[in-house]
Amino acid sequence: MKVYLDNAATTPVAPEVFEAMAPIFQDNFGNPSSTHLFGRGSKAIIEKSRRNIAGHLNCKPSEIIFTSGGTEADNMAMFTSVSELGVTRIVTSCLEHHAVGHTAKNIESKFNIELVLVDVDSKGNVNLEHLEQILSDTSKKTLLTLMHANNEIGTLLPIHEVSRLCRKHGAYFHSDTVQTMGHYSFDLEVLDIDFLTCAAHKFHGPKGVGFLYVKSSVHTTAFIHGGAQERGLRGGTENIYGIVGLSKAMDMAYEDLEAHQTHVYGLKKYMKACFIAAIPDVQFHGETSKDSALYTVLNVDFPETDKASMLLFTLDLKGIAASGGSACSSGSSKGSHVLEGIGANVKRPNTRFSFSRYTTKEEIDYAVQQVVEIFKNNIV
């Protein structure tokens, strides 16, 4: 049996998404910037997709800027905040995805700005009192960038409360919503935020496409030069078939979101209970309840063993795909910066299992069975 439980890294493309994209590959090859019939047809498809996505988020179509994915969107928000909006201080945490954490460090050195880290607890929760203390110093124009849900341990940020703190103290607010877009509803008439991000492949869309939401009151200029595409903010011919796939994936995600959440959270809760019943001293990183944690992620802290590094390899041999953290850090000799940031014991085997709409109870049973057998037989 082959079981895929690494959906936080990427999800399989939904058949319906592939079907929506296929005709675009074949029939709509015109450059969207061309003024002839073929170009106008391609442009119309992009703008229809933009309107559709904006409808799901209750924002203006002009506030959606298509990108190559979440990393580019994060970079765009952060670099333009400094170069165009006059930001001289970035506030973030030590738990952010490298698309934010590494970018912040690069900006710090390149632009000589101040970089401040807000305190987090052992579950990955941001200390809101410390955050307000930082933001209350308004001597520098500030960008706050905190992810909505941690991609490794799943802890959710109280994004509306943080937004209110930013508005109270005049700070710009960017949130990496790559793990939550398509999994939670966003009403951008209610959520007062300047930037948020999306990567289609996190919710059964294609890789290589996403978007940055830029609030209409935020005025920036081009991040990628060389063309007037995307309101002049991102030069380059648009990924039309990817944009169509992104739009269709969002349709599917929001068609019956509550049922999807119930199904996936049920699998997560079931797997957690199975591990507790079968493996002594098993623990879990981050928050795990439905209200405080990303329902698609379960980060398991297994009992310490001399062969901890072999767990993922052994699971792979048994046909089970899981991860030790962010896929963007695979191959690195360093451990998880997230687990280090919350003070976890990294000598224990830490494994992230992540689920999707296609995950089944039978797959969970098989994965749990194999993990229990591994520890019972002291294979790791």
Q: How many whole angstroms separate alpha carbon 97 and alpha carbon 306?
A: 29
- Rounded to the nearest angstrom, the gap between the alpha carbon of residue 307 and the centroid of all alpha carbons in its chain is 31
354 contacts 5 by C-beta, under 8 angstroms: yes
Instruction: Residue count of the chain, please give it.
Output: 380
Smallest Cα–Cα separation from 120: which of 152, 90, 92, 99?
92
Residue 202 tokens, joined: 């996190």
Q: Are 281 and 303 in contact (CB under 8 A)?
A: yes
d(CA 119, CA 114): 16
* Bridge-based pairing state of the strands 283-285 and 210-214: unpaired
- Annotated catalytic residue within 59, 94, 166, 328: 328
Residue 274 annotated as catalytic: no
The closest of 192, 365, 172, 338 to 267, measured between CA atoms, is 365
Q: Is 207:186 a contact under the CB 8 Å cutoff?
A: no
Q: Dihedrals φ, ψ of 6, to 5°?
A: -130, 45
Cβ-based burial of 241 (10 A; exposed 0-12, middle 13-18, buried ≥19): buried
Catalytic positions, please?
A: 328
